[in-house]
Structure 1
Amino acid sequence: MVDDDVTAGYGNGEGSRAPLWRPRRKNAGYQGQASWASSVINLVNTIIGAGVLAMPLAISHMGIVLGVLVVLWSGITAGFGLYLQSRCAQYLERGSASFFALSQITYPNASVVFDAAIAIKCFGVGVSYLIIIGDLMPAVVQGFVGGEPDYDFLVDRHFWVTAFMLIIIPLSYLRRLDSLKYTSFAALACIGYLVVLVLYHFIKGDTMADRGPIRIIQWAGAVPTLSSLPVTIFAFTCHQNMFSILNEIRDNSHFNTTSVIFASIGGAASTYILVAITGYLSFGNSVSGNIIGMYPPGLWATIGRAAIVILVMFSYPLQCHPCRASVDAVLRWRPKASSRNDNSPHRHPLLGSRGNRAPEPMSDLRFSVITTSVLILSYIAAMTVSSLEAVLAYVGSTGSTSISFILPGLFYYRISSPDSPSHQRLMKEDDEVGDDDEISSTQADDGSDDNDHQARETAPSDGGIVRHGRRQWRRNLLRKMSLALAVYGALVMIVSLVTNSVFVASN
């Protein structure tokens, strides 16, 4: 029997036979407000951070050809992880997608581990942003005043961390990611300035006198290349905010969400490759981990350092947002007892019976307490620790790999299993919609005014069977690829951890 939502699409009083179908899983009572452009801006800002400045160094270790291929491969694998997240969101009520929600219907007793890893990863990245502010602002002040300032506190990193926290705090209390679109746009403008600055010096050629040799095809060796591999792989990490994008976007159709992923990953990859090649050709093998710091002192270079500060300042709330959600999920977690009713095809283990409950947001008190705690702890860490390279290396190797590859792959592989009640329910709805679309098309072609029962009897055809077989083949292929992505993520994690251990031991 066809759902009420499907039959309601017929007989709309205007003689149209096109079904206005909306699957009940998408929760018609919820409507996102974010535009396509806003979603892309926030996602690109989550992807591109201060790490873009280290791309020329990564290319110097790999060689230009291999380096570009690695950047493209990293973008493709990260984009596939985002795509799997968008497919997983189809199994959840509209507006409720999250790692926690997926854990509840796939690996319920392991969800606390997943969310704890996400929270730690986002917290560590947020602290690193504050440390960057404290390290760069004294140099920015000295660049603008042309020497040592009259007041000593202007070159004190603790003062600048405190001062910028006053700007970061109100931004971190915004509930919706879409509310950060204007700050994200300002951050992207800063990235644009940095790219123009690198291009300007490359075209001007004022760094050629001190340029080292160039590697086109050759590489620096296995160890240097492996040490730079995490830089390019983790440069595309934005998966912690993907579910918020999917929840808030106005049009969450498959084409629209896929185009958001393609535009974001494509824009980031283009930026990385452009900065990497031009920056590397400017300094050769003499390039350092922060290419902006290598340019001659001057107004434009000082503005570039200020642009980095603004970029990381506006990127901090994009890390606080998923960190808060993951901490909330950890605090809400309770071990799930096995029950006969857990596999009921009409019951959602997180949201109750399908369609009768909207996702429950955090209360104002809980929201404020968690946000305040994250801000205070990150402020204390940034004030007491001046370097987090080693810690962030391990956190990135584990947290970023889990978020980008392992979790999306495992979640989709588990939830798309033919034995999964959620998958069976989704496929049943899709098949019903496919049948109704074929019925509508048959009626339109024949000009028939017969009732739906007569049309349904004539709907099955060889073409419908072929289309069903193709859909099933694509689903099976996607499921195998999701498992391959999870295995790839595990290998990346092992290689990154071993590389970091060797690097720490050698120093």
Structure 2
Amino acid sequence: MLSMKKTEMGRFNISPDEDSSSYSSNSDFNYAYSSKQAVMKSHYADVDPENQNFLLESNLGKKKYETDFHPGTTSFGMSVFNLSNAIVGSGILGLSYAMANTGIALFIILLTFVSIFSLYSVHLLLKTANEGGSLLYEQLGHKAYGMIGKLAASGSITMQNIGAMSSYLFIVKYELPLVIKALMNIEDTTGLWYLNGDYLVLLVSLVLILPLSLLRNLGYLGYTSGLSLLCMVFFLIVVICKKFQIPCPMEAAFILNETMNGTLTAPAAFISSKDLNKTTMDFCRPHYFIFNSQTVYAVPILTFSFVCHPAILPIYEELKGRSRRRMMNVSKISFFAMFLMYLLAALFGYLTFYDRVESELLHTYSSVVGTDIILLIVRLAVLVAVTLTVPVVIFPIRSSVTHLLCATKDFSWWRHSLITVCILVFTNLLVIFVPTIRDIFGFIGASAAAMLIFILPSAFYIKLVKKEPMKSVQKIGALLFLLSGIVVMIGSMALIVLDWVHNASGGGH
């Protein structure tokens, strides 16, 4: 999924404190690999001229990363595949819910704008990297605004990764009980602890995720990126097929019976066929513009689904025949492919369940039609992918925390284990006590995702690209982009908090 939302999302540098390996993750992932500092002078005259600004940092310190610049070795097609992996993530599961609360037309408008804005921020980031002389997101922040910029970049990436981890564990919480129930053919689930999602999340975290996360070299787990993308393609195919297998009138009649039995004294059998047909037609009619209390989650869910910016610079560094134009072509193809994938998943999911879509689409199928063998296979594939992906996502978070707090200290298994356990405990608490995955998508999308897509790339661009005056069209565009990001973040966060307060006071929906 889970490239499954997909922190997603890119490669992160490993200090000498941890073994240097290359990982590919999904969404939702992060490549942790040996960092390569850019050293470029006359030795590489054949390299694209726009990259000749990359210089070796002279004050990196003994714990920093010091390897020579090298020409990229990854083909154009593989770079598209890697970036697509970084984009696609667990956020795809919430898109049908977003469409159900915006309407088809408004959703397409929002999806188009978010994808275009994300692509524009990639342009800003690549140009800033060339001018700023660094291929590290955090290092660009440090060059632009000192420690505050570095903390902002590191904090946003860490929050996004924690959001991705939480969304993956939410999938375990939602889906694993249904898989166990189907495999064991259990009807009565009362009192069975192993069908309690909270207990299962803790068990999976303790037995599987923690041991894998404690390894210094995750190695083979990098292949979960490809597994996640394949899983998402399979998921999309199933969503499209199920649209034609689940008849809407049957579902509408089911809802009508459920509603009438709960709210009227007369039994549903006395409802006239005329009323039934009218209700069925109302239920099965798609809406194009919807505004309600849940509409505020649409933009954060979309921004969460398109965050891949920590992956952009590592993929750019590895691109064969590296140039900014070539990397932008990679980005355009990847974003367009994910735009189509997101649109189809959201549209067919919405047209299957309409207003009954839950915040996690896969769970909606069980609530409405139960579990068949195809859905069971999808769930198993998703569960395996997300379980193996969580340790990959933990790696860059732990590395970032280690560099911030203990950059000059030698590797310690005690510190390594303590940070890992703290990250996992915090994420489990979020999954257990946060009501729905929608809240994770909403909060992270409105905060960290907005920072990574809108605010940081434009702020770094304005500060580091010196050759363009502030009154130039490019700088004015970046400034407007920065201001729009601030408005989106503050507005979305305010509306989401108001919705939480409204629910807490008993207002409900």
For normalisation by structure 2, the TM-score amounts to 0.70
Cα contact 2:123–2:328 (8 A) shared by 1:
yes
Alpha-carbon deviation of 1:69? Answer: 1.4
Amino acid at match of 1:198: V
Measured at CA, do residues 40 and 153 of structure 1 come closer, stay the same or move farther in structure 2, by a change above 3 Å?
Answer: farther
Contact 1:128 1:382 in 2 (8 A): no
Kindly indicate whether the alpha-carbon contact (under 8 Å) linking 2:91 and 2:441 is maintained by their aligned counterparts in 1: no
**Contact (CA 8 Å) 1:127, 1:381: kept in 2 or not?**
no
Aligned partner of 2:103 in structure 1 is 63
Aligned to 2:286: 215
- Aligned match for 1:203, one of 233, 239, 244: 244
Work out whether residues 96 and 345 of structure 2, in 8 Å CA contact, stay in contact via their aligned partners in 1: yes
Compared CA separation, residues 369 and 394, structure 1 to 2 (3 A):
farther
Closer, same or farther: CA 370–7 of 1 in aligned 2, 3 Å: closer
Q: How far apart, in 2, do the equivalents of 1:373 and 1:267 lie?
A: 40
Is 1:403 the counterpart of 2:474 in the alignment?
no
Change (3 A) 1:321 1:90: farther
Closer, same or farther: CA 161–121 of 1 in aligned 2, 3 Å: same
Matched with 1:491 is 487
Match of 1:387 among 418, 433, 442: 433
* Amino acid in the other structure paired with 2:124: L
Please say if residues 100 and 329 of structure 1, whose CA atoms lie closer than 8 Å, have aligned partners that are also in contact: no
Structure 2 residue 263 is the aligned partner of structure 1 residue 226: no
| Counterpart residue number, 2:42 | 5
d(CA) in 1 for partners of 2:416, 2:310: 17
Within 2, Cα distance between the matches of 1:119 and 1:172? 19
Further displaced range: 181-190 or 404-413: 181-190
CA distance in 2, matches of 1:32, 1:378: 34
Partner of 1:46: 86
The answer to whether the Cα contact below 8 Å between 2:174 and 2:363 also exists between their aligned partners in 1 is no
Q: What letter is aligned with 2:245?
A: K
Distance in 2, matches of 1:373 and 1:392, equals: 27
Residue number in structure 2 paired with 1:299: 373
Q: Which residue of 2 aligns with 1:25?
A: 53
User: Aligned partners of 1:397 and 1:122: how far apart in 2?
Assistant: 14
Tell me the amino acid that sits aligned with residue 99 of structure 1: Y
Q: Is the 8 A contact 1:127 1:378 kept in 2?
A: no
Structure index of larger Rg:
1
Q: Deviations over 1:276-327 (max 9, x none)?
A: 1111111122222222223222111222222332343354355335424533
Q: Which has the higher helix share?
A: 1
CA distance in 2, matches of 1:20, 1:227: 42
Partner of 1:113: 151
**Structure 2 Cα separation of the partners of residues 21 and 240 of structure 1:** 24
SS at match of 1:214: coil
Partner Cα distance (1:401, 1:171) in 2 = 32
- Count how many residue pairs are aligned between Structure 1 and Structure 2: 408
The residue that corresponds to 1:342 in the other structure is: none
TM-score by length of 1: 0.70
Distance in 2 separating the partners of 1:373 and 1:35: 39
- Confirm whether residue 162 of structure 1 aligns to residue 206 of structure 2: yes
SS of residue matched to 1:289: coil
Query: How many angstroms does 1:329 deviate by?
Result: 4.8
Please, which runs of 5 or more residues in structure 1 have no aligned partner?
10-18, 334-361, 424-471
SS in 2 for 1:204: coil
| AA aligned opposite 2:455 | I
Alpha-carbon distance change, 152 to 159 in structure 1, aligned in 2, over 3 angstroms: farther
Q: Which residue in 2 is equivalent to 1:238?
A: 308
Partner-residue secondary structure (3-state), 1:282:
helix
Report the Cα distance in structure 1 between the residues aligned to 2:291 and 2:458, rounded to whole angstroms.
31
Map residues 91-490 of structure 1 onto 2, 5 A cutoff: 91-93=131-133, 96-114=134-152, 115-147=154-186, 155=195, 156-157=199-200, 158-165=202-209, 168-169=212-213, 173-174=217-218, 182-211=223-252, 212-217=283-288, 219-221=289-291, 223-295=293-365, 296=369, 297-317=371-391, 319-331=393-405, 365=411, 372-385=417-430, 386-388=432-434, 389=436, 390=439, 393-418=442-467, 476-490=472-486
Q: CA deviation at 1:105?
A: 2.0
Per the alignment, do residues 247 and 323 of structure 1 end up closer, same or farther by CA in structure 2, a change over 3 Å counting?
A: farther
Distance (whole Å) between structure 2 residues aligned to residue 281 and residue 273 of structure 1 = 12
- Structure 2 unaligned regions, length at least 5: 1-39, 56-67, 253-282, 504-509
Query: What's the CA shift for 1:51?
Result: 2.0
User: Closer, same or farther in 2 for the Cα pair 1:129/1:400, shift >3 Å?
Assistant: same
Q: Percent same amino acid among aligned pairs?
A: 21
Q: 1:259 to 1:315 in 2, by over 3 A?
A: farther
Alignment partner of 2:53: what SS? helix
d(CA) in 2 for partners of 1:145 and 1:506? 40
Instruction: State the Cα distance separating 1:405 from its structure 2 match.
Output: 0.9
1:88 aligns with 2:88: no
CA contact (8 A) 1:89 1:97 kept: yes
Do 1:134 and 1:161's aligned partners in 2 also have CA atoms closer than 8 Å?
no
Tell me: CA distance 1:216–1:72, structure 2 relative to 1, closer, same or farther (3 Å). Answer: same
Task: Please say if residues 99 and 350 of structure 2, whose CA atoms lie closer than 8 Å, have aligned partners that are also in contact.
Answer: yes
Whether the aligned pair in 2 keeps the contact of 1:68 and 1:273 (CA below 8 Å) is yes
- Judging changes above 3 Å, is the alpha-carbon distance between structure 1 residues 399 and 383 closer, same or farther for their aligned structure 2 residues? closer
CA shift digits 1:183-231 (9 cap, x unpaired):
21111111011101101111334455215343343x2225432232221
